[in-house]
Amino acid sequence: MQAAPSTFKLATRMRSLPVITLIAALVIGAPVLIALMTGLVGGGGEAWSHIVSTQLLGYTLTTLGVLLLTALLIILFAVPTAWFVSLYEFPGRGFFEWALILPLATPGYVLAYSWADIMDVAGPLQSVLRETTGLSARDYWFPSLYSVPGLSFVMACALFPYAYLTARAAFSNLSLCTMEAARSLGASPRRLFLSVAIPAARPAIFAGLALALMETAADYGAASYLGVQTLSVGIFRAWHSFSEPAVAARLAFLLILIAFALQFAERAARGRGGIQQTATRWRTPRRQQSGKAARWLIFAGCSAVLLLAFVFPVSRLIWLSAETGLGHGEIWRPFFNSLTLAAAGSALAFVLALAVVIGARQNRTSQLIGRISAGAGYAAPGIVLALGALFILSWTSFSVAGPAALVFLVWIYASRFTAAGAEPLSAAFSRAPASLSHAARSLGAHRMQRLLRVDLPVAMSGAAAAAIILFVEILKELPATLMLRPFNWDTLAVQAHAYASDERLAAATLPALLITAAGLVPVILLSLQLTRAGEARSAG
């Protein structure tokens, strides 16, 4: 008798929604849902009326102003550098290609501390100005970083690499045929850039920009340090200073609305049909040689961006740290706490991201549920998620000051960053053709076996990237950690913020530099990996 199929029982065709997706969606989405519902139900009253009549408009306009200015600055920093790095030969091009990603390692609040010191009356810039001109501090006007433009500048410095990366990828993928056709039709380099390259790369640029602006809207550390009254600062104040968490949650609605509007705008930009590439010959265009003056001008432009966004502020922190010595309070405990929390948070976020991505492969409903919940978690600033967790803590008998808060903090990290981990995982999964799974099925591998023996090993490259991204993002997280950590249980981010807020900047430099250093390793790895992938593509 031949080896017959092991079971001829007719299995039911209806596929139920994977429980795993539902659980993951619930874990990810619960904090934001609870925060918003509580805000809706209990966030009214006198305090709310007071905020509406006195501060709401200010918070909103300030936030929108910061977003607008940040967007302009990001475009100014990211698009030209990506264009020149992708398509022109100039001194140091290979270095700038990866070095321009480095600012991703530095959180916005760290840049704020550093730039605020650089531009301070007693800081190096104004000191040099006074020494060279002989003026006194009262004799001249100097721009203040403690302003909407100042915050926008800092956020653009910290976040422009998101748009730089997507724009660079888009420019590198421009069809050689399209570019050559445009040149043969007499398009000047300027027209080529404005009429061909920018429209083709617009969806990609907008995707990076939307991500950067969502992070800008969610920022608390830099805005509070620079004293700019954004919605995030308002939410934190409503919770911390006014002890009105429900009012804070209601304020969070606006922030979520902004995040969703950005996501919607990004999708709308991506969905436009007329800007899709149609040529099939995909080859990275050969980089152009330009005149000597132009080459050095491009070099100067790229150098300026890198100096402003990374070299100056990080050097200043290193200088301050070296100048004042490293013995500022205990650093190892916060360091250990940061690593522990980042490891636990990224592990949970990784598992959730895996559940979302695997669920998405099962059926469309799971895909939709997973995407919405992960997207909602990512769109919700850490401050909002932390409010959700605080509400849950207050309804239970757990103490906000006890270890339960740490568990909740890990949960909030996972809720916030699952989408960031799901992205590279999903990309790695989608690189594996469907025939792999079919082949495994035909060889008798059931769902779990396929996951363990085929899907996961194939997705390992993406899994490593996902884990690194999650770890760094969590390491940098400030507002949720600030709100949920038990008393006297500091992380590097919290310690840096606490010192900086107390105007003990020298003491804040070490934790700030440690966060940057921890972020640098994976960012450099990621950057080199992306650059190598680009080179391999253009060689192929």
199: contact with another protein by CB under 8 A: no
Segment contacting another protein by CB under 8 A, of 151-159, 338-346, 421-429, 444-452? 444-452
Residues from 404 through 443 that contact another protein (CB under 8 A): 432-433, 435-436, 438-443
Q: Which residue lies nearer to another protein by CB, 283 or 441?
A: 441
403: contact with another protein by CB under 8 A: no
One character per residue 459-478, x = contact with another protein (rule: CB under 8 A): -x------------------
Cβ 14 to another protein, closest distance in Å? 9
Cβ 218 to another protein, closest distance in Å? 37
Q: Which residue lies nearer to another protein by CB, 286 or 453?
A: 453
Among positions 33, 37, 368, 458, the unique one binding another protein when judged by CB under 8 A:
458
Q: Report how far residue 516's alpha carbon sits from residue 157's, in angstroms, rounded to the nearest whole number.
A: 14
Cβ 540 to another protein, closest distance in Å? 14
Residues from 330 through 369 that contact another protein (CB under 8 A): none
452: contact with another protein by CB under 8 A: no
Q: List the alpha helices (DSSP H) in 272-324.
A: 292-306, 312-324
**Any idea what DSSP says for residue 88?**
E
7: contact with another protein by CB under 8 A: yes
How many CB atoms neighbour CB 104 within 10 A?
Answer: 25
128: contact with another protein by CB under 8 A: no
Cβ pair 357, 432 in contact under 8 A: no
Cβ 532 to another protein, closest distance in Å? 16
Cβ 460 to another protein, closest distance in Å? 7
Q: Which residue lies nearer to another protein by CB, 177 or 458?
A: 458
Q: What's the token pair of residue 231?
A: 């919605």
Cβ pair 393, 404 in contact under 8 A: yes
Cβ 430 to another protein, closest distance in Å? 14
8: contact with another protein by CB under 8 A: yes
445: contact with another protein by CB under 8 A: yes
Q: Which residue lies nearer to another protein by CB, 259 or 440?
A: 440
Q: Which residue lies nearer to another protein by CB, 9 or 281?
A: 9
Q: What's the token pair of residue 252?
A: 């969070």
Q: What's the token pair of residue 348?
A: 């949970």
How many CB atoms neighbour CB 206 within 10 A?
Answer: 23
Q: Which of 286, 79, 283, 100 is nearest to 201 (CA)?
A: 79
Q: Report how far residue 427's alpha carbon sits from residue 330's, in angstroms, rounded to the nearest whole number.
A: 41
Cβ pair 231, 63 in contact under 8 A: yes
Task: Give 8's contacts (C-beta < 8 A, 6+ positions apart).
Answer: none
Q: Report how far residue 233's alpha carbon sits from residue 87's, in angstroms, rounded to the nearest whole number.
A: 41
Among positions 272, 286, 453, 532, the unique one binding another protein when judged by CB under 8 A:
453
Cβ 6 to another protein, closest distance in Å? 5
Alpha-carbon torsion (166, 372, 467, 487), positive or negative: positive
Question: How many whole angstroms from its chain centre is CA 214?
Answer: 8
Q: Which residue lies nearer to another protein by CB, 386 or 459?
A: 459
Cβ 539 to another protein, closest distance in Å? 16
Q: Which residue lies nearer to another protein by CB, 168 or 450?
A: 450
- Which residue has tokens 């402003």? 308
Among positions 457, 501, 502, 517, the unique one binding another protein when judged by CB under 8 A:
457
- In DSSP terms, 88 is beta-bridged to 288
Q: Which of 159, 203, 165, 198 is nearest to 67 (CA)?
A: 159
| Residue 519 burial by Cβ neighbours in a 10 Å radius (0-12, 13-18, 19+) | buried
- Which residue has tokens 């990237």? 465
Residues within the interface to another protein (CB under 8 A): 1-13, 432-433, 435-436, 438-446, 449, 453-454, 457-458, 460
